Amino acid sequence: MAQQIAASFAVYFVIWWITLFAVLPFGLRTQAEDKNVVLGTVESAPTKFRAGKVIFFTTLVSALIYGAWYIASHYFGLSIDSIPKIVPSFDK
């Protein structure tokens, strides 16, 4: 039972981490867009970092993705082996 919980948490963590990088640029305002570039920073740096919103939306989106994965794997029995092979098999 502990192994299943640890595996589920590991899958959720990987999904969360990948989703973080997908969610991070949404709504980002750079210093160049606001015409307020702080000396010593690049123009593409964010004007203000909104960590709370990023973490909230990352958690929400990753929970939805994890839920879809859980339903697909436990109720429909889909797995990595269910993906069709792209490379043909030359076995006789």
Contact yes or no for 66/12 (Cβ under 8 A): yes
19-44 tens-digit pLDDT: 999 999 888 888 888 888 889 988 88
Say what the pLDDT of residue 17 is.
Answer: 96
Strands (E) across the chain are located at none
Model's pTM, two decimal places?
A: 0.75
- Which positions of the chain have pLDDT values less than 50? none
Say what the pLDDT of residue 92 is.
Answer: 63
Say what the pLDDT of residue 64 is.
Answer: 97
Alpha-carbon separation of residue 66 from 3, 33, 52, 53, 74 (angstroms): 18, 35, 21, 20, 12
Alpha-carbon separation of residue 48 from 27, 30, 45 (angstroms): 11, 8, 9
